[in-house]
Amino acid sequence: MNADQIRTGLKSHDRALHIKSGWIRDPYITLGPEQEHYYLTGTQPSENDPRETTNPYNIGLGEQSIVGNEVRVWRSKDLVEWESLGPVFQVSDTMKARSGKKIGKPLIWAPELHWLGDRWALVHCPKQHSSLALSEGSDLKGPWTHPMQGKLGPRHDPSIFTDDDGSRYLLWSNTLVAKLASDLSGYETQPVRIDPAGTRPGPNGTSIARIGHEGATMIKVGDKYVHLGTAWSTDQGRKGSYNLYYCVADNITGPYGPRKFAGRFLGHGTPFQDRDGRWWCTAFFNANVPPVSRDGIETKDLGENAQTINEQGVTIVPLEVRIDKNGEVIVRAKDPAYATPGPDEAQQFDFASTN
C-alpha cells in the first residue's frame, strides 16, 4: 500500500493495511519510550540475505528456511515510514552462547520487545537457546545482560505480560504462565498451565483442550485477562488458515472461559494499541502456496493446504476490543475477510452474544 492509503486506513480503522514489505514471520509491534516511536521486529533472515527478495514465499521451515540468527528492528513515528535500526541482538548474545555451550542451529525465532520504563526486555526462541535479555537503558542495543543467569529454562515462544500493578509474567509453550521477580532475576511462582474451558473435537476422534499450539500472548481488557493463542483452522499441521483465538478469566491463572474466535489469518499476531487507543493485530504470510485472493474468501474452504490472504511483509488488521452488554469481552477482527471462520474451521463458534 502507498503512504496515503495507509494513512487513510489508520484513520478509518476498518480494513487490513499492508504497512511494510520484506520477509518476516511473527511480526511484533509495540510503542517505546514516551510513545514516540513504534518498534517492529519478528522472525527474519539475517540482514542483507539476498534470499529475502529472491525467495519471498519461503515458508521459513525445513532445510530451505531463510530464518537468520539476528533480531532486526525497525521503528516508525506513524506506522507508515519505517527506519531500520539493523540487527540489535544475535545468537552470539544469548546466555547459552556466552557460556560456551553448543547452540545447534544458530537461529532466532519470534522475538518480542518490551519497554519496561527504563530499559528494554527482549525475549525469543527457539527453546534450545531462548533468552530473556535486558538492555542497559533506552537505546535498543547491546551490551545485553541476562538477569536469570541461566535459570530461564527452555521456552518456546516466550512472551511477557505486564499487569496493571506492574507485576510481570512470562508465558510460553501454549500455554504455561509464571510470575517473574520484580528484577526479572527468576520466577516467583511455579508455572501454571492455562487452557480454555471445555474441549473440542480433534482429528482422528481425539479431544483438544488447549487454545492452540504456539504464539501465546495476553492482554487485559478492563479487569479481565485475555489469553490469546494460535492454531490452524483444521487443528492439523499446515492445513487451513493460521488463526487467532482467545479465552477470558478474572485471574491470570484462571479458570478461563471457553475458546473464542478472534480472527482468521491472524495466527501469531500481536494485538497492540496505537497512540489513540485503537487496537490492531499484526498478520503475516504463513502458507505453503502464494497468497490467495481475498475475494469471496469468507466462504472458501482452505482445508487442503496451508493458505492465506496475507502478502509477504507486515499487515495490520483493525480489532474490535470491547466488553458487550452481558459483560463478555469481545475481541474480533473488523475487516470482513478476517472476521469470521472459514468452512474449514474445526470448531463451531457461537457469535450470538456480541452486542
Confidence (pLDDT) at 205: 87
Confidence (pLDDT) at 355: 52
Three cell numbers written together for 226: 485475555
| Strand partners of residue 201 | 207
Read off the pLDDT of each residue in 285-297 and give the average, rounded to a whole number: 98
In the chain, the largest separation of any two C-alpha atoms, in whole Å, equals 57
| Separation of alpha carbons 213 and 231, rounded Å | 6
What is the three-class DSSP state of 214? Answer: strand
Alpha helices in the chain (DSSP H): 3-12, 51-54, 95-98, 336-339
Three cell numbers written together for 333: 477482527
Does the pLDDT at position 320 exceed 60? Answer: yes
| Separation of alpha carbons 168 and 5, rounded Å | 37
Q: Tell me: the pLDDT tens digits for 143-190?
A: 999 999 999 999 999 999 999 999 999 999 999 999 999 999 999 999
Give all domains of the chain, ordered by start, each with its CATH number: 3-339 (2.115.10.20)
Contact 264/315 with Cβ under 8 angstroms? no
Cis? peptide before 143, omega within 30° of 0: yes
Q: Tell me: the pLDDT tens digits for 56-106?
A: 999 999 999 999 999 999 999 999 999 999 999 999 999 999 999 999 999
Does the pLDDT at position 119 exceed 80? Answer: yes
Q: What confidence category does residue 351 fall into, taking pLDDT thresholds of 50, 70 and 90?
A: confident
Confidence (pLDDT) at 281: 98
